[in-house]
């Protein structure tokens, strides 16, 4: 109890007795917050307030509260604390898309591995592709942008201290997509919140990513003849693999480094009748634009283009870029929801009126400070011992993989190669789609931040070893199973992930499905 009073007051909370019983946490006073539930939950099936039941392997103390950092804030937060076996650590949970829901499944996994954990809806209830909640509610956009994750970390630590009588020894945050953007916001804005951060496929240049989504949809939907149906994606992927799969000396259905792929889709032009085995001239023009990435009227690159090689895979261009029908892609939904509700605050806004030079500037002037996590100056995070791991799938059809490589390069330019290497690693994942899946091996540990095996095979375990033992990660071995992420189905292939800008190179002998036969260069 000796330091509990001071820490609790600094966190805006009035202290309880050290190691408080779960139900007593309902009496804990946290500034600008209301605790609505403090209950002990037994191991087994747990029915959350919303969604399907989740199985929780251990008993835990569940604390639900509402945070109101502004007059228009209504941030729902849950903090789960293992009743026994706490490992002394805190694990924050991030959100995908436009957020709008608490990640109960991730929380269940975290507490089962001994972590105290917290998840927030970031201030609204909605489907992940729906931003109507932001219409006329700027403070809610701020909560979504960065404030809810930070306020959640502060409140969660106060609750952890009150329950266990001690603050967490280490705090970690691991998330992907918008969660990756949240992760970088934490490192850039609030370097004291977390000791170790994993940012997967971060949507960190939000205003430009949404602009790219609109530009691509304008190109694809301006004329019915320009739309590329999902049925033609296998033809495109086959041509891309034929051009670049063997560039790394191994023909395995995966392009190791698409940035070095010089794929020209021009030979796919239909020579006669339009079939699924070719592209019309308008479709070919759109494909080239998607690969190239948008440029403004001065010719400046606004965002990198999407990489070739994974267009036809499940989780690839079908759901994200082309959709199964015009206007049915996820990037159409994200782009139009963003500009109609957050930028122009006009539900009737028409994407056909979008002008890249004009409207991207409007979005940036209004919302870049709230939503973009692009600051390369991470000196404060480094100074307190923070470690950051970035990863991104090269075949990502939601966020171009090259965008994370460019952010990493901006850190190097700002802080220097040696300084950056002291606390940042980037792993580009060949063949991986958005946050997982695809033709290549998948990164493990990125969703919940929970170590599944060891520091050589699990990116989250590698981060914890770096933070706690000061052993920097080098190559990380990733696995592709015969069926999804099910180890019981058997291992199809293992490969090393190399710290960027290195890539895995085949030694020239031995099985190409064994990571031991590759070296990082």
Same structural domain for residues 163 and 35?
A: yes
Question: Are the beta carbons of 133 and 124 closer than 8 angstroms?
Answer: yes
- Residue showing tokens 């036969």: 517
Q: Which two tokens stand for residue 254?
A: 């995966």
Same structural domain for residues 107 and 46?
A: yes
Query: 18: left (phi > 0), else alpha (psi -120 to 50), else beta?
Result: beta
- Last residue of some domain: 292, 323, 348? 348
Report if residue 480 sits inside a domain.
no
Note the pLDDT of residue 441: 85
Report if residue 388 sits inside a domain.
no
CA–CA dist 306, 178 (Å, integer):
18
| DSSP per-residue codes, 403-438 | HHHHHHHHHHHHH-HHHHHTTEEEEEETTB-SSS-B
Where the chain has pLDDT below 70, the residues are 1-19, 444-454
- For residue 329, indicate whether it is catalytic: no
Q: Which two tokens stand for residue 173?
A: 């945050």
DSSP state of 482: S
Same structural domain for residues 49 and 157?
A: yes
Determine the 3-state secondary structure of 159 from DSSP: helix
CA–CA dist 491, 493 (Å, integer):
6
Same structural domain for residues 162 and 217?
A: no
Note the pLDDT of residue 467: 97
Determine the 3-state secondary structure of 488 from DSSP: helix
- Last residue of some domain: 323, 348, 373? 348
pLDDT in tens, 265-310: 999 999 999 999 999 999 999 999 999 999 999 999 999 999 999 9
Report if residue 220 sits inside a domain.
yes
Same structural domain for residues 215 and 154?
A: no
Which of the residues 121, 248, 396, 458 is marked catalytic?
396
Same structural domain for residues 155 and 216?
A: no
Degrees, nearest 5: CA angle 446-449-455: 85
Report if residue 390 sits inside a domain.
no
Same structural domain for residues 224 and 108?
A: no
Report if residue 215 sits inside a domain.
yes
- For residue 396, indicate whether it is catalytic: yes
Which of the residues 124, 392, 434, 457 is marked catalytic?
434
Report if residue 451 sits inside a domain.
no
First to last CA, the chain: 53
For the four alpha carbons of 40, 43, 89 and 73, in that order, the dihedral sign comes to negative
DSSP state of 269: B
Report if residue 55 sits inside a domain.
yes
**Total-model pTM:** 0.94
Report if residue 36 sits inside a domain.
yes
Same structural domain for residues 129 and 232?
A: no
Note the pLDDT of residue 198: 97
Question: To 10 degrees, what angle do helices 356-371 and 206-221 make?
Answer: 150
Same structural domain for residues 225 and 325?
A: yes
CA–CA dist 499, 368 (Å, integer):
29
Same structural domain for residues 163 and 212?
A: no
pLDDT in tens, 41-82: 999 999 999 889 999 999 999 999 999 999 999 999 999 999
CA–CA dist 254, 513 (Å, integer):
12
Number of domains in the chain: 2
Question: Are the beta carbons of 424 and 378 closer than 8 angstroms?
Answer: yes
- For residue 434, indicate whether it is catalytic: yes
Which of the residues 177, 226, 395, 448 is marked catalytic?
177
Domain residues for the domain of 315 are 208-246+256-348
Cα of 390 vs its chain's centroid, Å: 10
Note the pLDDT of residue 192: 98
Note the pLDDT of residue 19: 55
HEC sequence for 320-350: HHHCCCCCCCHHHHHHHHHHHHHHCCCCCCC
Same structural domain for residues 151 and 218?
A: no
Same structural domain for residues 26 and 134?
A: yes
- Last residue of some domain: 348, 364, 399? 348
């Amino acid at each position: 109890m000796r330091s509990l009073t001071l820490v609790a007051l600094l966190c805006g909370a009035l202290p309880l007795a050290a190691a408080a019983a779960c139900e007593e946490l309902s009496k804990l006073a946290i500034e600008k917050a209301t605790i609505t539930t403090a209950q002990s939950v037994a191991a087994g099936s747990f029915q959350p307030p919303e969604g399907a039941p989740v199985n929780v392997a251990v008993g835990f103390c569940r604390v639900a509260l509402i945070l109101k950092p502004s007059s228009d804030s209504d941030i729902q937060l849950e903090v789960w604390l293992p009743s026994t076996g706490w490992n002394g650590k805190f694990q924050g949970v991030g959100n995908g898309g436009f957020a709008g829901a608490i990640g109960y499944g991730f929380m269940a996994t975290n507490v089962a591995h001994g972590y105290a954990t917290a998840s927030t809806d970031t201030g609204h209830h909605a489907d992940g592709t729906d931003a109507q909640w932001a219409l006329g509610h700027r403070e809610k956009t701020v909560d979504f942008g960065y404030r809810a994750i930070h306020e959640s970390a502060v409140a969660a630590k106060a609750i952890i201290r009150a329950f266990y009588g001690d603050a967490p020894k280490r705090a970690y945050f691991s998330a992907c997509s918008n969660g990756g953007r949240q992760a970088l916001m934490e490192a850039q804005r609030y370097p004291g919140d977390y000791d170790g951060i994993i940012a997967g496929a971060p949507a960190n240049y939000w205003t430009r990513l949404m602009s790219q989504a609109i530009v691509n949809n304008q190109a694809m939907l301006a004329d019915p003849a320009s739309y590329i149906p999902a049925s033609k994606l296998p033809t495109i992927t086959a041509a891309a693999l034929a051009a670049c799969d063997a560039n790394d000396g191994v023909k395995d259905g995966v392009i190791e480094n698409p940035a070095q792929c010089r794929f020209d889709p021009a030979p796919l032009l239909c020579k006669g009748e339009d079939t699924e085995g070719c592209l019309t001239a308008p479709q070919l023009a759109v494909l080239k634009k998607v690969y190239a990435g948008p440029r403004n009227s001065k010719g400046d690159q606004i965002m990198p283009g999407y990489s070739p090689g994974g267009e036809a895979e499940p989780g690839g261009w079908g759901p994200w870029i082309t959709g199964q029908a015009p206007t049915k892609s996820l990037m159409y939904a994200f782009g139009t929801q963003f500009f109609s509700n957050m930028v122009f605050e006009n539900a009737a806004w028409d994407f056909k009126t979008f002008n890249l030079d004009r409207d991207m500037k409007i979005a940036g002037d209004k919302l870049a400070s709230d939503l973009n996590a692009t600051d390369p100056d991470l000196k404060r995070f480094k100074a307190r011992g923070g470690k950051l791991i970035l990863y991104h799938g090269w075949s990502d059809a939601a966020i171009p993989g090259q965008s994370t490589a460019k952010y990493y390069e901006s850190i190097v330019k700002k802080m220097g190669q040696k300084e950056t290497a002291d606390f940042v690693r980037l792993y580009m994942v060949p063949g991986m789609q958005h946050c997982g899946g695809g033709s290549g091996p998948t990164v493990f540990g990125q969703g919940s931040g929970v170590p599944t095996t060891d520091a050589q095979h699990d990116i989250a375990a590698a981060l914890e070893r770096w933070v706690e033992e000061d052993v920097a990660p080098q190559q990380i071995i990733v696995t592709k199973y015969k069926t999804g992420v099910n180890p019981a189905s058997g291992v199809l292939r293992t490969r090393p992930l190399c710290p960027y800008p290195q890539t895995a190179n085949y030694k020239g002998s031995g099985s190409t499905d064994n990571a031991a036969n590759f070296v990082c260069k």
